[in-house]
Structure 1
Amino acid sequence: MENKSHIVASFDRDLEAIQALIMKMGGLVEEAIVDATTALETRDEDLALKVRKGDRAIDEMEERLNEEAALVLALRQPTAGDLRTVLTVFRLAASLERIGDYAKNMAKRAGVIMQMQQIDGSGAGLRRMARQVELMLKDALDAYIQRDPDLAADVRERDLEVDQMYSALFREYLTFMMEDPRNITACMHLHFMAKNIERMGDHVTTIAEQVIYLVTGDYPDDEREKGDRSSHDLGVEED
């Protein structure tokens, strides 16, 4: 019994360390989202470069999390609910890494847009959309820490707002392009930045669904409604 208690205590300590890494990685990703949109709005090349360089730290943290989780699997041989907990780490780390990649892509495009004539008001909608995703990510990570499936379900539903924001921005950029052909190149970059944010929302939704699975043992069985069809209908996509 004493040996079993020791194993349980060791496993708990391992999970606490991994959980701390997840939250640290999440914090870096949240910062990257904010900095990428701020760089565009303030035309701050140094900040855009910081986001691009900072993505390496996010990638390294994913690698470390995967190594730590794999070590737990090998040494502790968790069963049932504990195994589900460890597997969740792999999936959360992967989703966070992808969100970080999208923030890096945004920073790259922001750097290009800074060399062009500014389109008045073009960054405000992106900032609002990015803020929505940032708040969703914060709540999704809180849901993970608190093992709160209701908060996770709320995050999942809020992704519809992100899709709707994306559709509105898509139409706005089309208007800018039709009004002045000189805006076409910049608006295409802005559109793909908006698409990056929309994809971030999808990955945050995946995190929320993983939390629901972690707590309940089941994934949501209803198909989440998508509010974005604009670029899909026109054949415009970016991965």
Structure 2
Amino acid sequence: MPITEKHLSKSFDNDLNEVVELFMQMGRMAAEQVMIATRALIAADETTAKQVIADDSLINQLEIKIDEQIILLVAKRQPTANDLRLVMALSKGIVDFERVGDEAEKIARMACQLIEDGASPKGYSEVQHLSNQVRLMLLNALEAFARMDTQQAFSVLQSDTAVDEEYQSATRSLMTYIMEDNRHVSKVINILWVLRALERVGDHARNIAELVIFCASGKDVRHTDFLRVEQIVQQTTDAGLGRQHSK
């Protein structure tokens, strides 16, 4: 299913496609910031960590630019139905991407703190693994958005459950370590903050996936149980296949 459909007005198509392209660019940039911040933390690379902190402003500027273009698009074109849902999703999605950038900045700041205080004795393997998972969630959510693929979006929702479980397991393990050996409390707590930031990145990826389902089905699936979401996704998929066969 294409993310946008052809309209009688070619200029409308161009305006809408430009906003979508910027949206995808912002999402990829946010995902990359998370990856770079995590690498800086594990490698104790202060220069790279500080660059992540500085580059957060680029994501913020892109959010403002997309916001402005969305406002102009709504004012000029007054989109309705599917187009309006897409524009609403784009407007909400950039807020999630901006917050992913903020989480990447937090990770970079924790990296700088750990470089200054000395490395934590535990938690780096958990950080690396969780970072890989949430980055993949973000990229999959972006791909689902680009294709308006509700099945892939649902897979992202399922991945978020696994991320939450891993985050809780890692947190319990590190808290147990602190109770058994309190010599490195502040360092381990910094790692706990990093894990929390990564878990929040997963939540934002889930939000993007929910927007895909909203765009494709017209159903708001926030705070909806998995079984009901799966039913909505299947109904949307079946309806899409039905339209293809009728052509």
TM bucket normalised to smaller: 0.7 to 0.9
Match of 2:12 in 1: 11
Q: What TM-score, normalized by structure 1, do the two folds share?
A: 0.88
Q: How far apart in 1 are the matches of 2:17 and 2:142?
A: 14
Give the superposition deviation at 1:120. Answer: 4.0
Match of 2:35 in 1: 34
Matches within 5 A, 1:31-70: 31-70=32-71
Match of 1:234 in 2: none
Q: How far apart in 2 are the matches of 1:224 and 1:111?
A: 39
What is the letter of the counterpart of residue 202 of structure 1?
D
Match of 2:83 in 1: 82
Give RMSD over aligned pairs: 1.7
Matches within 5 A, 1:1-239: 8-220=9-221, 222-223=224-225
Q: How far apart in 2 are the matches of 1:46 and 1:95?
A: 26
- Structure 2: give runs of 5+ residues left out of the alignment: 1-5, 228-247
Contact 1:133-1:201 at 8 Å conserved across structures: yes
What is the letter of the counterpart of residue 79 of structure 1?
T
What is the letter of the counterpart of residue 112 of structure 2?
G
Give the superposition deviation at 1:121. Answer: 4.7
Q: How far apart in 2 are the matches of 1:121 and 1:185?
A: 12
Q: How far apart in 1 are the matches of 2:156 and 2:7?
A: 37
How many residues get paired? 221
Contact 1:176-1:183 at 8 Å conserved across structures: no
Contact 2:49-2:112 at 8 Å conserved across structures: yes
Residues 195-219 of structure 1: CA distance to partner in whole angstroms, max 9, x if unpaired?
A: 1111111111111001100011002
What is the letter of the counterpart of residue 53 of structure 1?
A
- Structure 1: give runs of 5+ residues left out of the alignment: 226-239
What is the letter of the counterpart of residue 95 of structure 2?
A
Q: How far apart in 2 are the matches of 1:17 and 1:116?
A: 45
Contact 2:49-2:109 at 8 Å conserved across structures: yes
Give SS of 1:119's match: coil
Identical amino acids, percent of aligned pairs? 33
Give the superposition deviation at 1:110. Answer: 1.2
